[in-house]
Every structure is written in structure tokens, then in C-alpha cells.
Structure 1
Amino acid sequence: MHRLRRCVWLPTLFLPLAAQAENATYQADPLVVTGSRYQASGWQLPFSVNRIDTEQATLGKPGVNLSEALGSVPGLVVQNRQNYAQDLQISSRGFGARSAFGIRGIKLLADGVPLSNPDGQGQAATFDLDTLERIEVLRGPFASVYGSNSGGVIQLFSRDGEGAPKVALDTSQAAYGTSRTRVSAEGGNDRAGFIINRSHFETDGYRDHSGAILDKTFAKLTLYPDDASKLSLSFSELDQNDTQDPQGLTWSQVQSDRRAAAPSALQFDTRKTVDHRQFALNYERSFTAGTWQSTVYSGTRRVIQYQSIPVAAQTPASQSGGVIDFERRFHGIGNRWIQSFDLGSSLLTVTTGLDYDYSRDDRQGYENFVGSTLGVKGNLRRDERNEVTSLSPYLQAAWQLGKLDLQAGLRHSEVKFKVDDRFIQGNNLDDSGSVTYRKLTPTLGASYALLSNLNVYASWGKGLETPTLNELSYSGPDNSFGFDLKPATSEQIEVGLKARLAQAASLQLALFQIDTDDELVVESASGGRSRFQNAAQTRRRGVELALESRLSDTLRANLAYTQIAATYSKDFTSNGRLIEDGNHLPGIPARTLYGELAWQPVEGFSTAVEGLYRSKLYVEDSNTAKAAPSHALFNWQARFEQKAGALTFNQVLRIDNLLDREYIGSVIVGDGNGRYYEPGPERAWYVGAGVQYQFD
């Protein structure tokens, strides 16, 4: 606890400042729904939650990756892999840091619809940042109110079409053969609104064999049948064909040629195709007694991925080949009732709901060779149906008692995996079966207003993290399904303060501790496959600081700092090696610092500079392999806007990695071949221009 004790004195620094600002006039606190389920000021909630509005998230930025918008949130580590075949890596206070691809251990939602499979594995690429209204990020104990695999919550909200109809066209060019074009139309009135957006993105990639083409479509229709109800219908689509995968590099390969692809990536032409389509309906109606909210969604996802599994490694009958081919059908529904009770001197708000999510994969695996020809679909080696079902009833209560706010939640998570193996030949035995994980996760929190501009709070909760389908697939005997894997369970404690230091300035400080039992770790890795085990206890302790300030009418500043000590608290064995108590968890930097200074001296022109520092990253459990070195990056952007009647023109100029530093953008934790490192790009330029026409 000595590291946290050093931080205990920090609140005393802000007490005098808070007292001086007691009589200041403040802008209204932004409202959030994440964590509490109902609209509330983030100021009064007893947990860490940040809201990022569209201006901060998108202006002067390419609009391609969610990583562009999340740098100002403490506790998050967003690694842009420059690899569109594998998506971003995002961790929240260490949850999700071990993910080899996509997002894992964090609940990712868009307009209330999960972008994560019920097993906790998800992708951020399906969301369209062009239509963003705001992002809400929740860390800490209350993330568990969103069920299993919720070490943190990132919730994205698209805007509703409103105002006079308008159409827009944007285009951009950037380094490494990168281009993007977008067309959109939107508008609305008090009865209905619409928004339609289509974008096309191409890149040759910074590294060899990292080209990608992404086409996205988003459409949304919002209806207001009466003054008490709202109905939204949305459709989203992602087409991503033959996206190249350069894979990770060894440290010696990085030193030799940081822009190279792994030799095996070229040998097997590693690539990935994704076709994703999704429909969603959101309905909300207010009654005299309370509010009813319902979300229904359904979609399909087709993935074909060519891996670099060596030919020799595919000899065992239980090996499922080097080509993944699956078609997923998924759907779900979420219903909740929110009701407030006026108790005279206090207000009690109760939320009760039920979330149901289901996915079914028709999955095949093929050899990635035919004779001596590599990187092609060969013989069938896997044929099965995988079903994952999640059912979670929950109850939350918020009690406002003057200066004191109390929050409590209780959720029962039930996640069921079912496998129907249809490829049973010779020594390849039947892997059919099922396993169900159940857990009751409570949360408690309290917030107290010491002053009108200073709140202190504390919260506690328990969480559940089930294995993902991929982690279960090869973790049994002879690469069979690992039905014996247990879920990881965690207990979190958070204390903090929220202060207004001056007009239009706010600060959040949080100290946290997370203890996890049965942490999922790698037991062995060979032949391109990793087997997982429940073998570790971990502890994560840290401090987060977020400062937002409007220094003047033209100058705005943001600062985010995170310090975390993430270590194993019990010995275990991995790949035949002893991993000792006290070793650092890989993929989690001990310190992260982000700063942004934005200046808008006149209407129609703004400029900003942002900086990011990240300390070194351990890449595997023994901490003996070369750690990815620490680095600091600076980015600069300027935006111009002109109006001429109904037309609005804009131009953007941006330079990333302004000082041309060499750095490792992300790491692949525990890679069995030692290819841990994914280098980030050198200095890169970006220019964009757009025009918008608004009808009368």
C-alpha cells in the first residue's frame, strides 16, 4: 500500500483551491447514463466516469479509429496496432491487456447495443465515428453492473438527426497511401429525424503487408410518436475484404527493419475478411410512475481469416488448421424500468432490468495449404456449431439524501457455452459439450459533498470474467474444448474526489485496488495455439488523475495521468517456467500521461497540440523478454472553417509523431514465437477538406 499512501496527501492540495472557488459560477455538469442507467450528473456519482463530446473526440482527427478519441481518459490504455486485421487493443485498469486481438474484458456498447459477443470478445471497428454524439467511459467497481467481462465500460452514442436537412462530403489524404471519403445527409424536426453516413477508407499501411480497405454504412431513423415516447431504428454495416495482417515482430526484426512484416505473414499471405451487418431498435416511453426502456438488436458477421500456422504443426488430428471460417448470427434484448420515489427529504431511484444476448457460430477450420502452395484453403479440419448465451437480471438503487448520495447494485450473470462438434474422424474425438458460469455480483457506493465544489466518494464491487470462446477452444486435453476452465473473479475498491477548481475547470482523482482470483493466463503456446489455465492471483493498485480546464475564452486544456502497479500475487507455471509472485502483468504500463492544449483565437480557426507518454511494457509473464521501451509522442492539428450562405467549408492539417520518434505502438502479449512487437509509424501527415450544404 506504500504507493497509494504517497497519494493520500493529494486531496489536501485541492482543498484550499476548492475553498477559494466556493462562490464561483460553473457551467452545467455534463449528464451521463453509464453506471447509473438514468440521466445524472457525473459530478455526484460515486465512481469514475468520463464524458467525451463529439468536438473533443473528432474535430481535427481522421475519424478512423476509436483510439483518436480516448486519450484523455485516465485508466485506459489504447494501443493502435496499425493492423486493421486485428483491431485495437484497449485495456481499462489492466482488464483486457492480455487480448491477442480485438477488445476483451471491457463492455463495449453503441446506442445500448453490445459490440462484444456474449463471451466478452468484441471489436470497435464496427462503430462509425462520423455519427458520434458522445462517449462515456466507466472504470472501477460499478462496471460490473453491466455483467460478465465488464472490467470497464465504453459506451458510444450516435446523434439524432435534427434541424434543417443538410448534406456533406469530406475527403482526406494521408501518409502511407491512406485516403478516406465520406458522404452524409441528416436532418429532423419535432416529429422525426434521420441520419445516413457512408465512408470508404483505404491504406497501404505503415508496415509491409498491412494494406486495408474498409467500407462503412450507418443509417438511423428517429421517431417521436408523442411527447412521452421516442423510437430509434438503426442499421450499420462493415465490409472489410482481404485486410492484410503483418503480424508481430521479434525484437531483432524490429531493429533490422521496423516496417517489415513477419516472414511467416508473407509466406502464408495472412489476411482477414469481415462482413458485418446489424439492425437495432431503441424504444423509450415515460409514464407517470416511471420510464420504460427497451433495446432489441440482431445481426450477422462473417469472418474468413488466413493464419500462419506451420504445415508441420497441423499434423495432429486434433489440430483445426490454419484457416478460420465462421458465420455468426446474433441477437439480444435489453429491458429496464426506471422509477423514482419522492420520500420528502430524499429521492430514491430504482432501476430493474433484464439483458439477454445470444450468438451462434457455424465454424469451420481448414488447412492453409494445398500441396506445396501456402496461404490457400485446403482440407477441412474443424466443423462445429458454437453457441453462447448470456442472461442477466439486475437491480440498481440510488438514494439522494441531501449532500449524501448512495448507490447499490446487484446482478446475476449466467453465461452458457455449448459446442456441437460435427467433425469426428479417426483420432479426432467428439468435443461436444457445454459449460455454464454463474455469479452474483454486488456493488456499493457513496458520495458526499464536503463543499459545493468538492465531492468525495467510495465504491466497492465484485466482478466476473468468463473465458472467451477462443480461450476455451484449445485449453482441454489434446487441444480439445477446455470445459474445466473457471471464470476469473475480482474484488474492486475505489476512493476518490471530484472538485471544481475554478470556473469551467474540473478535477477527478481516484485511487483503486483490484484483487483477482483465477486469472486466466497462458499455460503453453506452440504450433500457433495457446492453451489457457486458471493459475494466478493478481493485484492492481493505482491512481488516476483527470483535469479539464477552459483557461480562457480561447484556450482549453486537458490532462490525464495514470499510475498502476499490476503484479502477480501468487506463483504459477507457464510454458514450463515458474512465474514468481511479484512479477508484473504484461501489457500494462506503470505510468501513462496525456495532455492536450487547444486554442481557438477566432471563429473559423482552431489548433491543438497533444502529447502522450507511456512507460515500458512487459510482453510476457516472466518479464525476461525485452520490454517495449517507454516513449513520448506529440501530435499537432489545425482546422479551418468558412461559411458562404448555405455552404460551410472546412480544411484540416494534421501531423502525428511530430518529433519523428521510433516507438512500439502495441504489443502482442505472450506470443509463442516471440513476435511481441508491433512498431508504430514515423512522422505522418494528414490533410482533409469538406463541404456541407444546409437547406432552408
Structure 2
Amino acid sequence: MQYRFRLNAVAALFAAGALPLTPAAQAADTPDVPGTGAAVAPVIIVSGSRVERSSFDFPAAIDVVGADRIRDSQMRVNASEVLAAVPGLVAQNRQNYAQDLQISSRGFGARSAFGVRGVKLIADGIPASMPDGQGQAATFNLDMAERIEVLRGPFSAVYGNHAGGVVQLFTRDGEGAPSVETSLSAGSDGARKLDVNAQGKSGGVGYLLDASRFDTDGYRDHSAARRDQAYAKLTLAPGAGSKLAITASGLRQRGTEDPLGVTWATWQRDPRAGETDATDTATPKRTFAERYNTRKSIDHQQIGAAWEQQLDGGADGSKLRVTVYGGNRKVIQYQAFSRAFQAPASHSGGVVDFDRDFSGADISLVDVRTLAGGKLTSTAGLEYGRSRDGRQGYENFSATALGVQGRLRRDETDQVSSTDPYLQTEWAQGPWVLNAGLRHSRFKVDVSDRYLSNGDDSGGLRYSRTTPVAGLLYKLTPALNVYASAARGFETPTLNELFYSGTGGGFNFKLQPARSTHAEGGVKALLGNSTRINAALFQVKTDDELVVDAASGGRTSYRNASKTLRRGAEVSADASFGHGLSARLALTALRAVYDQAFGSVLKGSRLPGVPNAYAYGELAWQSPSRALGAAVETVASARVYTEDSNTEKAAPGYAIVNLRATAQQEAGGWRFKQFARLNNAADRTYVGSVIVGDSNKRYYEGAPGRNWQLGASAQYQF
């Protein structure tokens, strides 16, 4: 059964108590216990301002997901599970580990064919998005996460090109006596995970080590995956007033199966099924995924160091920060193209093979002083990123088989670099808080083509733009703040959007960056000592929006459209009721449309991949000792269009209910934890995500029906 979701219906359900809510997001290790009647703890952030401050006093929409929420009630495989409770953000698990999650912020990033673009990903101060703007949420290590900060709206512009929103993960530091921990979890469709970690602090050096393996047979046909992750972190104080953090991480996925999308008729027949290839001569006919054995292998590793030095000895004083990082990413992907598409003039082939080296640095100086009776905090910095790809493309067939590496069709070197000086400042005096920033982005792409039989694609692109941002917050009372902010945005094409032109052409040098103007107004309120409410209204106008031109078999090309308009509202509420009860509500209403006609697309057509309403709610209980906990969650979404003209069948809206329970015990140096989850408890059938603009109308990616997860961990502290 499908639901055509309406925002007013959701509001009515909440009013009737039918949609439950979730505990307030808190800074990790806060002494306040959600649901015990204790005061709602202040949420400390660094996103947006780049210095620690209370989110209540910052003029931007920002939410924090704490450690307990991330680590204690799920398998810690997909960030989508923990990000579902953030308004303005839509994080979809595609049931496809070859293509990773779909994450969009106020509609930015919804068109991404794979991975995350339009939303900047950062882990421990180091970009998890490549210099071209494409990122993989799979590189986030959720096992060691302390918190995740999600910034939306105008202040995302302080992070430069590609930042329609910012998702920033922070891992914990090694502290205290040494401890070791083992976690085991399992779930539906053959999902299982083993995680082992150790942490502690000795001789002033904190250390954290983690390794995990995740396996799944996959919900959809041809979607099995194995993911190995490793993470290490060292923290030390090399001198007075200084701190150095060194991190290293690795991600390996070999032969991850890609189930591809399916047509509406196929999804209705069987949400797990793949799309049958009508040209197949086998009996019975195989799916495209099976016939071409569509799959992807990923090897990603990186290392980074972040050094901070206090310059005047004060905890709130001036400081110098330096972050450097480097790494390598190798990808081999087998796509599903027919033989007919492999014409001699075709650029590239059905096998993508690239080896990427990347590196970067961010140097900033924070200055704190008194000005006009208020506190002035200024940050001046320079951020640089660079990547170099050795990229080949091959046919995905030989004389006797499909889904194998065939003849060379592409051979080139692609270099991307970005150089961004920036300046941010905040002045606070009495009830007034004024924030402003300025960033100049310079983005370069250089292509050196060595496969010349189909023409020379060598060339380059240069983009640059200055993006200002400003925000003003006024404290009406100690418990009520109002704010307004505005910014200019800048979004250049990623390498993946530049690689192809049309249905068979080579590098697309004609793409231009999208330019946007953002405005936001909001209210932040504390009701009593146990309820927090945040609300925001926003508008974004964009010129030269990047849209899908053609998509087939895993390969997507793009073009510039005309103007788009995004208008919407976000509301989040956190409350503690006493007797162990707590609640959270997150509502998003978004009208994202083309504001000017182009081609066959009419003015007012909805942007594909973007629901016009999305809601999350939770009602949770926890015993005073935290020994037991339970919660009911609800996620609801409006329908989602699949292509620009809105004429194809939209993915229907849906509403699902999830249940979870947690427990923990302590004995001597041992600490034990358990969790159980039942997702989609009513066994609803729905489309979890869509592939925008697929030329073969294989838009739909089915979501699981009723499914379960169980997990347990044991930690020993020496």
C-alpha cells in the first residue's frame, strides 16, 4: 500500500499523538539525561563560525546528532539512519552500496547519480568531499563518532564551492584508562557486522583504533556487498597551548554489486527484482545487472593532521590552525551498456577505471579582541585542494562475454584544484550578534587526453566567484532569539558531471557553474527548562541550475537549465517530559521548482528527486539509570518526481514506523550494550529513492519491507 503524503495530514497526526517524536540532540557526554526532566543541554557547534559556540546564539539552521544516537541503536553502517531526524535534509539508503547514499539539503544534491554532491562532507576537519565537490558518505566512521553537525542555508557558503549544506562528523578522542571493545550485529538479508576498537590515553597521548567488516546479501537482487573499514587517531599536546590530532582511515569494497534502477512496472511486480534485458538470448532472460555483472570496487585511504596553537594563552583567545591531508582513491566500475551503444565514435566505455591522488591544506588565524564594547572574533584563512586522476575507460564486453574488461576507449589525466581565501567575523554585544563572511573560490580543471582515435578531449576550465554571507541575531529574551541571514552561492560541475556530453560524447567543456542567492529567517526558543524549538523560513534562487541531460546504465551526462526557485520552512522541536520520556519532531516543507521554462520543461515544474514535504517524529523512553530504553520512530515523505518535465510516474509518498530498544549493564571493568530494531514495522511497500532522469525510465529503487537488526557489544576497561 502506498501513501500520498500531505504536510497537513502529518500535522494532524502529530496533533492526535499518532506520530511519535526523538530526544534532544546533545553534545556528547553531557551530564543531562534525556527524558528525566533535566534541563535541555546547550548544543555546542563549530560549523558555520569555525569556533566553538552555542548553536542557540548562531544565526543559522543547524542540528547536532549526538554519540548515543549514532552508536547505540543501529548497526552504524549508513549515516542515513541517524540523519533522518534532521529537518531540511533528506538522506536515502538506496539499498545499493555500489552507489552509496543519496543526501540532499534543501534540494541541493538530489540529482546526484551516485555519492553525494551539492552537500559538503567533512570528517575531523578534513574534507570527505573531493576538490571537485563529489563525496562518499561511506568514508564516515560511525563507530567512533562523537557527533554529527548538519548546517543548512546561507552560512553553508562559508565552506565555498559545492556547499548547499554541510554535514560534519567529529570522532571522539582517546581518553582515560585503556579499553577494548567488540561489537557484533546482524539483520535481515544476510546483514552482519563485526567491529573491534581500542582507546585510551597514556603519557599525554590519546589513541583510538577501530576496524570493522560489514557484509550483506542485499535487499535487492544483485546487491551483495562487503565493506572493510579502518580508522586510527592520535591526539597529543606537543607544547604549551597546542594540540595535534593525526588521523588515518581506509575503506575497501571489492566487487560490490550494483542492482541498477527499474521501471515502474517492474517495481510494482517485485520491489526486489532487477530490470530484465529484452535483448538477452538466455532462457529465462537475465536482468541488465546480471547480464553485465554490474559492480564496483573501491579502495580509499587517507591521512591527515590538524594542529592548533593558542597565541595568547587564553582558552577563548587568538589561535593558529593548520590542517593538511592526502590520500588515494581507486575505483573500477562495470556499467550496463548495450553493444549498440559501444559505437566506434563513442567516448569511454562500460568500464570506468581511475586512480586518484588527492591532497589539501587549510590554514587559518583566529583573532579575538574587544571592539565597541563587544567581543569581536575574526578568522582569516586559506583553503587549498587538489586531485589528479589517471582515468581509463574500457568496453564491458569481449568476443565471448559481457561484463568483462574489453578494448580501451578512454585514456586521460584529469587534474582539479581549488584555491579559496576566506574571512569570517563575529561581533557580539548585549543582545546583538552579527556574523559576516567573504570567500573567493578559484576552481580549475585540466584534461590531458591520450586516446585520440575519437578526437582530442584535452582542454581546461576555469571558474571563479566571490561569495559573501551575513547574518544578524537578536536576543529578545534569554529564552528567545530571532535571526536573519543571506548569502551568495556557487556550484561548479564535478568531474563526474563533466565527463560526458549527451548520450555518447566526450568531456563536456560547455557546462557552467550554477549561481544562487540564499535568504533565511528563523526563531530559536527555549520553553521552560526542557523544550527547545527551532524554526526557519528560507528562499533560494538559482541561475544555470545543473540538471540531468541523459542517464543510462550507470552513466549520466548533465547540462545547464534555466532558473530555479526553492522556498520552504523547517521546524524542529525537542522536549523532555519527565518519567523518562522525551520527544523530537522534525518537519520540512519545500517547494522546489523551475522558475523559467526550458525545452519541454514548463515553468513551475518540480525539481526531480526532491519531496515537497518530509517529516520525522519520535517518542522515546529511558530508565533513570539508562539500563533500558525504547522508542517509536516515524518517517514520512511526499511523492518524488523522477525527471524534469514531471510527466513520468512519480515515486509515491509514504509513511513508515520503526521500533527500537536498547539495554546496557556494567560489572567490574566490563560494560555491555544491546540493541534491537524493527524497521518498517507495518511492512509498507514503497520506493526508497529514485535515479533522476534515467533515459530508459529505470528510475525506481525499492526500499525494504519489514526488516530487523540485532546487536551487542562488550567493552573492558583496564
TM range (shorter): over 0.9
How far apart, in 2, do the equivalents of 1:228 and 1:146 lie?
Answer: 27
Q: Who is 2:279 aligned against?
A: none
> What amino acid is aligned across from residue 619 of structure 2 in structure 1?
L
- Determine if contact 1:313/1:527 at 8 Å carries over to the other structure: no
Whether 1:284 and 2:308 are equivalent positions in the alignment is: yes
Aligned residue in 1 for 2:354? 326
Query: Using the alignment, how far apart are the partners of 1:327 and 1:49 within structure 2?
Result: 36
Map of 1:342 onto structure 2: 370
**Alpha-carbon distance in structure 2 between the residues aligned to 1:28 and 1:682:** 36
Matched ranges for 1:234-313 at <5 A: 234-262=247-275, 263-288=287-312, 290-313=318-341
Distance in 2 between residues matched to 1:331 and 1:667, nearest whole Å: 33
Q: 1:170 aligns to what?
A: 183
Question: What SS is found at the alignment partner of 1:100?
Answer: coil
Q: Give the match for residue 123 of structure 1.
A: 136
User: Does the residue aligned with 1:57 lie in a helix, a strand or coil?
Assistant: helix
Q: Whose RCO is larger (CA < 8 A, sep 6+)?
A: 2
Shift of 1:477: 10
Which stretch has the larger CA shift, 520-529 or 497-506?
Answer: 520-529
1:415-494 matches, cutoff 5 A? 415-425=443-453, 428-475=454-501, 479-494=505-520
Q: Are residue 97 (structure 1) and residue 110 (structure 2) matched?
A: yes
Q: Distance in 2 between matches of 1:527 and 1:120?
A: 23
- 1:564 paired with 2:568, answer no
**Counterpart residue number, 1:18:** none
Match status 1:382 vs 2:382: no
Q: Indicate whether 1:158 and 2:181 are aligned.
A: no
Who is 2:12 aligned against? Answer: none
Give identity over the alignment, percent: 51
Q: Compute the displacement of 1:528 (Å).
A: 6.1
Shift of 1:313: 0.2
Q: Residue 242 of structure 2 aligns with which residue?
A: 229
Structure-1 separation of matches of 2:213 and 2:714: 17
Deviation at 1:28, TM superposition (A): 4.7
Q: Does 1:534 align with 2:556?
A: no
Give the superposition deviation at 1:525.
Answer: 4.6
Distance 2:112 2:250 in 1: 24
Aligned-pair Cα RMSD in Å: 1.7
Does the CA-based 8 Å contact 1:471-1:532 persist in structure 2?
A: yes
Give, in whole Å, the separation in 1 of the partners of 2:681 and 2:505.
47
SS in 1 for 2:464: strand
| Counterpart AA for 2:58 | L
Question: How much does 1:26 deviate?
Answer: 4.9
* Counterpart check, 1:83 vs 2:105: no
Q: CA deviation at 1:59?
A: 1.6
Name 1:20's counterpart in structure 2. Answer: none
User: How far 1:79 moved relative to its partner?
Assistant: 0.9
Distance 2:502 2:321 in 1: 41
| Equivalent position amino acid for 1:506 in 2 | R
User: Structure 1 residues 683-692 or 312-321, which shifts more?
Assistant: 312-321
Aligned-partner Cα distance in 2 for 1:597–1:226: 47
Match of 2:658 among 606, 625, 635: 635
Aligned equivalents of 1:25, 1:174: Cα separation in 2: 35
The aligned amino acid for 2:699 is Y
For 2:39 and 2:192, the matched residues in 1 are separated by 42
Q: Is the 8 A contact 1:476 1:484 kept in 2?
A: no
Q: CA deviation at 1:533?
A: 1.8
Question: Do the aligned partners of 1:58 and 1:68 also contact (CA within 8 Å) in 2?
Answer: no
Deviations 1:80-110 (A, max 9, x none): 1010000000000000011111001011000
Query: Which amino acid is the alignment partner of residue 338 of structure 2?
Result: P
Does the residue aligned with 1:649 lie in a helix, a strand or coil? strand
Q: Residue 344 of structure 1: CA displacement?
A: 5.6
Secondary structure, in 3 states, of the residue corresponding to 1:437? strand
User: What is the aligned partner in structure 2 of residue 202 from structure 1?
Assistant: 215
Runs of 4+ with >3 A deviation: 24-28, 523-531
Which structure has the highest strand share of the two?
Answer: 1
* 1:365 paired residue among 377, 384, 393: 393
CA distance in 2, matches of 1:218, 1:544: 35
- SS class of match (1:232): strand
Match of 1:550 among 566, 571, 576: 576
Alpha carbons of 1:540 and 1:194: their partners in 2 closer, same or farther (altered >3 Å)? same
> How far apart, CA to CA, are the structure 2 residues paired with 1:560 and 1:179?
30
Amino acid at match of 1:535: A
Deviation readout 1:229-280 (Å, 9 max, x if unpaired): 1111111011101000001110000111111123211110000000111101
Shift of 1:484: 2.0
Q: How far apart in 2 are the matches of 1:417 and 1:168?
A: 45
- Residue 612 of structure 2 is aligned to residue 584 of structure 1: no
Residue from 682, 685, 710 that aligns with 1:687: 710
Q: Which residue in 2 is equivalent to 1:644?
A: 667
CA distance in 1, matches of 2:222, 2:229: 22
State the one-letter code of the partner of 2:612: A
1:595 maps to 2:617: yes
**How many angstroms does 1:191 deviate by?**
1.3
Is 1:352 equivalent to 2:374 in the alignment?
Answer: no
2-structure distance, mates of 1:653, 1:25: 26
Secondary structure of the residue aligned to 2:238 is strand
Greater displacement, 546-555 / 89-98: 546-555
Q: Aligned in 2, Cα 1:544/1:62: closer, same or farther, shift over 3 Å?
A: same
In the alignment, structure 1 residue 501 sits paired with structure 2 residue 527:
yes
Tell me the distance in 1 between the aligned counterparts of 2:85 and 2:289. Answer: 34
CA offset digits 1:183-240 (Å, max 9, x no partner)? 1100115711101011011000111100000010001111122341111111101110
Correspondence for 2:680: 657
Q: Please report how far the alpha carbon of residue 316 of structure 1 lies from its aligned counterpart in structure 2 after TM superposition.
A: 3.3
Q: Which amino acid aligns with 1:645?
A: G
Structure 2 SS opposite 1:369: coil
Residue 519 of structure 1, aligned match among 525, 534, 545: 545
For residues 532-586 of structure 1, the C-alpha deviation after alignment (integer angstroms, 9 at most, x for no partner) is 222220000000001011221511111100001111011112xxxx100010001
Which residue does 1:14 correspond to in 2? none
Check conservation: 2:426, 2:435, Cα contact below 8 A.
yes
1:501-521 deviation per Cα after TM superposition (whole angstroms, max 9, x unaligned): 121211100000000000012
Amino acid at match of 1:538: T
- Alignment match, 2:630: 607
2:562 counterpart letter in structure 1: A
Q: Classify the secondary structure of the residue corresponding to 1:620.
A: coil
Q: Tell me which amino acid in the other structure corresponds to 1:643.
A: E
Q: Deviations over 1:19-45 (max 9, x none)?
A: xxxxx9955522111000111111111
> What is the identity, as a one-letter code, of the residue corresponding to 2:622?
Q
Q: Which amino acid aligns with 2:289?
A: A
Q: Residue 49 in 1 paired to residue 71 in 2?
A: no
TM value normalised by structure 1? 0.94
Partner Cα separation in structure 1 for residue 432 and residue 88 of structure 2: 26
Query: What is the aligned partner in structure 2 of residue 394 from structure 1?
Result: 422
Aligned CA distance change for structure 1 residues 621 and 109 (closer, same or farther; 3 Å): same
Distance 1:680 1:477, change over 3 A: closer
Deviations for 1:300-345, whole angstroms, at most 9, x for unmatched residues? 0110000001111011323211000000000000111111111262
Residue-by-residue CA offset, 1:469-516 (whole Å, 9 max, x unaligned): 121111279612222211000000000100001212111000000000
SS of corresponding position for 1:304:
strand
Could you list the per-position Cα deviations for residues 362-382 of structure 1 after superposition, in whole angstroms to 9, with x for gaps in the alignment? 000000000130000000000
Alignment partners' CA distance in 1, 2:620 and 2:561 = 47
Taking structure 2 as the reference length, the TM-score comes to 0.91
Alignment deviations for residues 440-492 of structure 1 (CA, whole Å, 9 cap, x no partner): 00001100011111000000000000011121111279612222211000000
Q: Which runs of 5+ in 1 are unaligned?
A: 5-23
Aligned equivalents of 1:535, 1:257: Cα separation in 2: 35
Give SS of 2:623's match.
Answer: strand
Distance 1:477 1:71, change over 3 A: closer
What is the distance in 1 between the residues matched to 2:423 and 2:318? 15
CA distance in 1, matches of 2:493, 2:53: 33
CA distance in 2, matches of 1:527, 1:688: 36
How many pairs are equivalent?
Answer: 668
Query: How far apart, CA to CA, are the structure 1 residues paired with 2:273 and 2:152?
Result: 37
